[in-house]
Amino acid sequence: MKEITEKTDARTIDESTLLRLAKEGNQPAFTQLIQLHQKHVFRLAFGFFHDKDDAMEIVQETFIRVYRKLDDFGENDAPLFGRWVNRIAHNLCIDYYRKFKKQKVNPKEIFDYETDTRTISTRHEDHLDIQSFKDSLEKSIDKLPKRQKSIFILKHFSGLKHHEISDTLDISVGTIKSLYHRSVQQLKKHLQMTVEPEKNGAKS
C-alpha cells in the first residue's frame, strides 16, 4: 500500500482508505481528510458570519470534534463522511450564532430571493433606519422554529442550494422547500408587525 504522508495528494487516495487509516491513528491520513473537506466547512461558516476569524474558529472546532468522534463513524459509511462533517459544522454555527449573534445581515439581499417579500426592506426605508431593520430581522430569525431557522440561514448566509441543504441536514428537498417557504412567510409577518408600529411612531 502507498505510504500516506503529509505531502500525499488526498485526491489520489480513496476516502474510505483515508478514513480507515485515520481511525487506526494515522495522523497524515486524518490531515488529508481535513484537506478534502475544510474548504466547504469554511464556506459554510463564512456564510453564517461573514468573518474569516469566526469561520476559521468553526473550522478548527469542527475537525477537533470530528477527530474525537471518529471511532463512532463506521468505515462502511465513508460516502457519507462529508455530510457528517457538514452537520457537525452546521450545529457549531447555530450554537455560535445563538451565543454571540455576530451575524451581519443585509435585508435587501435576503428578501430579493422572494418576490412577494421584496418590498419589505424598501417599503419603510423612509421611516425606519436600516440598523433598526437589521435588528428586527435578527430577532425575527431567532424566533423561527429550529429547522426553519437552519434552512433560512444555510440558504441566505451560506449560499447553499436546496439539494446541498438537504445533504447537510438529511432532510428531503421537498421538505426543505416547504420549510423555507414557511420561514419566509413567518419572517414577513413578524417584520410587518414589528416595522408598522415603528413607522406609525415615527409619524406621531
Report helix angle 81-100 to 52-68, nearest 10: 130
Find the angle CA(134)-CA(161)-CA(156) to the nearest 5 degrees.
5
Q: What is the pLDDT of residue 101?
A: 54
Q: Is the dihedral of CA 62, 102, 42, 110 positive or negative?
A: positive
Distance CA 200, CA 133 (A): 15
Type of residue found at 111: F
Distance CA 38, CA 70 (A): 16
- Coil/strand/helix, residue 139: helix
Per DSSP, 128 falls in state S
Per-residue pLDDT of the chain (204 residues; tens, 9 = 90+): 445 555 554 444 688 888 889 999 999 999 999 999 999 899 888 767 778 898 999 999 999 999 999 988 876 777 888 888 988 998 898 788 767 654 444 544 455 444 434 444 444 444 455 667 667 777 788 788 888 888 887 787 667 788 888 877 778 999 999 999 999 888 888 877 766 555 555 554
| Class of the CATH-defined domain 107-203 | mainly alpha
- Is 1.10.1740.10 the CATH classification of the domain at 10-100? yes
Domains 10-100 and 107-203 share a fold: no
> For residue 181, how many other CB atoms are within 10 A of its CB?
13
- Sketch the domain layout of the chain as residue ranges: 10-100, 107-203
Q: What is the pLDDT of residue 139?
A: 79
Q: What is the pLDDT of residue 86?
A: 86
